[in-house]
Chains A and B, each alone.
Chain A
Amino acid sequence: MTRPAVSIQSVSKRWTPEGRAPVQALSDLTFDVAPGEFIVLLGPSGCGKSTLLYMIAGLEEVSGGRIACDGEPVTEPSAERGLIFQEASLFPWLTIADNVAFGLSVQHVQPVRRREIAVEMLKRVGLGDMLDKKPDELSGGMRQRAACARALAMRPKVLMMDEPFAALDVQTRARMQDFLLQIWRDSGASILLVTHSIDEAISLADRVVVFTARPGRVKTIVPIDLPRPRESRDPRYHAYRDMFAELLADEVDRAFAEQEAV
């Protein structure tokens, strides 16, 4: 068996808010991500799925357990593990092309080469004619695509996305999902995408990791055994949707109960 792109072993995360009792955000997570695999993390809000991404990215430390990428334990952020946020977080003082080239400039790539890569990446995400625009001249969907280009310019082995399409309208969202699948195929990177949308999970994932309410644990891992492009009219699609709805309903109930108890 090939070495997993990301290996998560008994990972847990505790927060200690100032002056209050520690909160167990994640508890005993274990699963692997194969190279080139598309994983969707699905769960009720507040279950710590975003925290897991931040820990894989190296922006947060684990409280227990071990995360390794390509066999190497994660100790600090790396350009090999790209992270895309709900907001595109492009720098408003740089043009789109310079935003995409930002990581390359940090790594002292020559300006001419930087520009070439930025142009190539922006063409790939369909923004070839937006090179010298300012970020706030772009629509939300375009900004998110530029953020993808910025991450892809670093040729990441793992691309993580924290509810990347949550702020977009429904039509844009559907188009962005198609776009993402195409990017995924082209780049060969593993993708870990956090969402609370069941449809997003079924349309995109190879495997869906379903989280429990806080403290987040892996409730179950469901392979989506449907050929792409996936049709929402497919009866099997419906079966998956019903299954996920049921799985999540329990967790949402628990999350509510816990909130009311507090």
Chain B
Amino acid sequence: MSADAGRTGLGEAAPARGGAPLDPPGFSLSPAWRRRLSTLVWGVVSVGLFAGIWEGLWALGYADPLLLPPPHLFLADIPGTLQFFDRSNRVGSVATGGGVGALLITMAWTTMRVVVGLALGFACGVAVGATIHYVKFLRNLLLPTILLLAPISPVAWLPVAIFVFGIGDVPAIFLVFITVFFAIVLSTGAQIESVPKNYIHVARIMGASQRQTFWKVILPAILPSLFMTLRLNLFAAWMVVLIAETVGVGTGLGQITSMARSTFNAKLVFFTMAIIGLLGFLSDFALRQVQRRMLWWIAPNQGGAR
């Protein structure tokens, strides 16, 4: 499954283009379904191959099951693994062995931190980006600082986040926020700059006020590119949230991984990695669906404003 997450990338799964002739003669599927089926089959083949090599190395004795337990080992012992998950989101609570429910709750908390951080970062990023684009005084005042802070790795913000917000959800959300915020701020200004002048001329001739021009013309024109920026930063957000959970939250999948490392529990490490990979994959899929519904005028893999 971790292979799965790596394979998806941002575009459509590349192997799907290969288009294997899957259906037997006389049995026809619509092209869209054939493409989906092909994507699925290639996905299974890809992950299967990855797992197969791993299993093979184990069978040949190259992969020590204590250090690199192959999928059938770390997946076989799910009940044993699940006892390390806890239903509560309390810091330092002793795992009570909450079973599948606890696993889902842990996944949900981590996902929540990513989603809230991304949503806040996106909204605030667009707001700040647009404001400093239009208000020259604020641009002069804020842009140098923003340019100075933007290249700093979100991980470097972790101590700051803990100093300011303490241990809990907020530092993790803050870190995800930081991951997208600066990228969106800078991208917003650049995208507003590149909105075709004639769009704005049309709006002005039709008598649109500045406010109407922004909401009805500029925002829809820049949204596709901003959404692409968001998607590009999604995986970074997933990386950052785990680090934040390890250090600054005390719960969530990051905490489980950290605990598994310190207790030398390789099965738990790989199980959690698989879960993280799956979540990353699903969240990218979800964002792509949102993009298709909300930004229907743009082809799925095409980000730029036109």
> A interface vs B, CB < 8 Å?
57-59, 77-79, 81-83, 85, 87, 89, 91-93, 102-103, 105-107, 134, 136, 150, 154
Contacts and interface: CB of A to CB of B under 8 A. Distances in A.
Contacts of A93: 220-221, 295, 297
A19 B220 CA distance: 35
A79 B297 contact: no
A79 B217 contact: no
B262 interface: no
B235 to A, nearest CB: 27
A106 B215 CA distance: 11
**7 shortest A-B CB distances, which residue pairs?**
A103-B206, A89-B198, A93-B220, A106-B208, A77-B204, A77-B205, A92-B297
A87 B198 CA distance: 9
Interface string B102-140: 000000000000000000000000000000000000000
10 contacts: A57-B201, A59-B204, A77-B204, A87-B196, A89-B201, A92-B306, A93-B220, A102-B203, A106-B206, A134-B297
Contacts of A136: 297
B206 A79 contact: yes
A91 B201 contact: no
Contacts of B212: 106
Contact of A85 (B198, B220, B221, B306): B198
Interface string B202-229: 1111111000100011001100000000
A83 B206 CA distance: 10
B163 interface: no
Given A59-B201, A136-B297, 11 more contacts: A77-B204, A79-B205, A83-B205, A87-B196, A87-B198, A89-B202, A91-B199, A91-B217, A91-B220, A103-B206, A105-B216
Interface residues of B, number: 20
B297 A83 contact: no
A226 B214 CA distance: 47
Contacts of A82: 205
B265 to A, nearest CB: 50
B205 A78 contact: yes
A79 B207 CA distance: 6
Given A79-B207, A92-B297, A106 B201 contact: no
A26 B199 CA distance: 25
B158 to A, nearest CB: 39
A121 to B, nearest CB: 14
Nearest to A59: B201
A178 B133 CA distance: 44
A103 B212 CA distance: 11
Contact of B207 (A59, A78, A89): A78
Contacts of B203: 102, 106
A93 to B, nearest CB: 4
Among B198, B206, B217, B297, chain A packs the most CB atoms within 10 A around the CB of B206
Given A89-B199, A91-B199, A92-B306, A102 B220 contact: no
